[in-house]
A and B are shown apart, each in its own frame.
Chain A
């Protein structure tokens, strides 16, 4: 791994300032994606700016009809949070099944969203719940945030500070996990709430996406068997040694039905 200067800023403004002044700098969350990527030489930042511990990125609270989760909260903290379990149990369950215990003890919500791995779990929750990604400078709607394969709407010097999740009436996430990494071969989050009926799919395509036919079917009637008539096309889906595009298309149907059944 190429060496870099390490910065531990005292506050958010100082962190943004360092990122702005050093164009080759990168934010460091829990390092559970960035450090492996740097070891492979796929990223070689001049500077790393540690953001996960910033006070502005910490905390979990219910604010009116939304659950607000700090971008620096680890997957383990979200999974174990009494507030999250009460407001959006599906989100706590999702966080509790990311990777393994050690990864959950370090990895953060903000890092997962900024990295936007096509098989990551959190993007499905953010998109299905119609959440808002809050940064140091603006608010970004979920529908505008994800831009396909490792791409987001974030600027190079922009820091995610929190995510505002509208509290749904019903929601559940079902994942067919890769047996070694636990990343989603296919993961489907379904939700019915203030943002309407939404179905988000991760792991199957180049990035997280909404499944409009399923949303229509579930909007008509919220029941697993309402999905029976929805055909999922394999076209454009990922194919790799773990599963063909056709297999992933099939899994989208199975995971969606499981998620609706679990949501009740």
Chain B
């Protein structure tokens, strides 16, 4: 079995995985980082979004072996060591950007990538960027509001 080493939320991790092990399986099943959700497992919903070397990816559609030597950030890695929420997380709380919360980790990871890349993102750009993230509850309105507020506050 291939052995890989990577950094997850700033910590070095070594793991034995199969070729077919998905990144999301490594995170949830081996590392017990269950904040990353699996909504569809068919690359559609974005609930499994994490960052690999700072870019948002669907972790159900990337092999764990491909994360060898890379830096992975999950929803558990966004808040500060003191538990202080990241600007995007805080904005989701403030603007009620969630209902059941299932899509939220993916939404927050995706939005965090956007506000870093494009801090001045317009509402249209936010809606377009979030096309890879589906939410069954909110109707997106407050999610977009939260992301806009985070973008204006300088993001993170």
Residues of A within 8 A of B (CB): 1-6, 8, 28, 31-32, 35-36, 38-39, 48, 50, 76, 99-103, 105-106, 180-182
0 or 1 for each of B54-81: is its CB under 8 Å from A? (1 = yes): 0111100111011010000000000000
Q: How far is the CB of A45 from chain B (nearest CB, A)?
A: 10
Tell me the dominant secondary structure on chain A's binding face. mixed
Number of A-B contacts (CB under 8 A): 68
Q: Which residues of A contact B142 (CB under 8 A)?
A: none
Is B44 an interface residue when CB atoms closer than 8 A count as contact? Answer: yes
Contact A6:B63 (CB < 8 A) given known A36-B42, A103-B132 = yes
Q: Nearest-CB distance from A24 to chain B (Å)? A: 13
Cα distance A5–B18 in the bound complex, in angstroms: 8
- Give the CA-CA distance A103 to B62 in the complex, in Å: 11
Q: Would A180 and B57 count as touching, CB distance under 8 A?
A: no
List of A residues within 8 angstroms of B57 by Cβ = 102, 105-106
Contact of B20 (CB < 8 Å), options: A1, A8, A99, A105: A1
A191 to B132 CA separation, bound complex (whole angstroms): 30
Q: How far does the Cβ of A100 sit from chain B's closest Cβ, in whole Å?
A: 3
A32 to chain B, nearest CB (A): 6
> Is B46 located at the chain interface by the 8 A CB criterion?
yes
A6-B19, A50-B66 are contacts. A39–B44 as well, Cβ < 8 Å? no
Inter-chain contact A102/B20, CB cutoff 8 Å: no
Instruction: Say if the beta carbon of B144 comes within 8 Å of chain A.
Output: no
- Given A101-B113, A102-B49, verify A2-B20 contact (CB < 8 Å): yes
For the complex, what is the distance from the CA of A3 to the CA of B66, rounded to whole Å? 15
Say whether B19 contacts A102, CB under 8 Å. no
Q: Is B16 in the interface zone, CB < 8 Å from A? A: no
- Name the residue of chain B whose CB is nearest to the CB of A53: B66
Say whether B131 contacts A182, CB under 8 Å. Answer: yes
Contacts of B131 in A (CB 8 A): 100-101, 182
Given contacts A100-B46, A102-B110, contact A6 B61 (CB under 8 A): no
Shortest CB-to-CB span from A264 to chain B, Å, is 23
- Docked Cα-Cα span, A100 to B55, in Å, equals 13
CB neighbours (8 Å) of B41 from chain A are: 39
A102 and B22 CA atoms in complex are apart in Å by: 16
A3 lies within 8 A of B18 (CB): yes
Which residue of the partner chain, among A4, A31, A100, A181, contacts B19 with CB atoms under 8 Å?
A4
Q: Is B2 an interface residue (CB 8 A)?
A: yes
Q: Which of B20, B22, B42, B49 contacts A3 (CB 8 A)?
A: B20
Of the residues B22, B44, B62, contact of A106 by C-beta under 8 Å? B62
**Nearest neighbor of A3 in chain B, beta-carbon distance:** B20
Residue of B nearest to A5 (CB): B19
Q: How far is the CA of A99 from the CA of B44 in the complex (A)?
A: 10
Contacts of B49 in A (CB 8 A): 102
Q: A99-B132, A102-B49 are in contact. Are A35 and B61 (CB under 8 A)?
A: yes
**Interface status of B9 (Cβ within 8 A of chain A):** no
B5 is an interface residue with CB less than 8 A from chain A: no
A4 surroundings in chain B (CB, below 8 A):
19-20
Give the docked Cα–Cα distance between A153 and B122 (Å).
43
The docked-state distance in angstroms from the alpha carbon of A48 to that of B62 is 13
Q: Is B86 an interface residue (CB 8 A)?
A: no
Query: A34 — nearest CB in chain B belongs to which residue?
Result: B61
- A to B CB contacts below 8 Å, 17 in the list: A8-B65, A31-B62, A35-B43, A35-B61, A35-B62, A35-B63, A100-B131, A101-B56, A101-B113, A101-B114, A101-B129, A102-B46, A102-B57, A102-B58, A103-B132, A105-B56, A182-B131
Within 8 Å by CB of B61, from A3, A31, A180, lies A31
Determine whether the beta carbon of B113 is less than 8 Å from that of A31.
no
Closest to B66 in A: A50
Please determine whether B114 and A32 come into contact, CB atoms closer than 8 angstroms.
no
- Least CB distance from A108 to B in Å reads 13
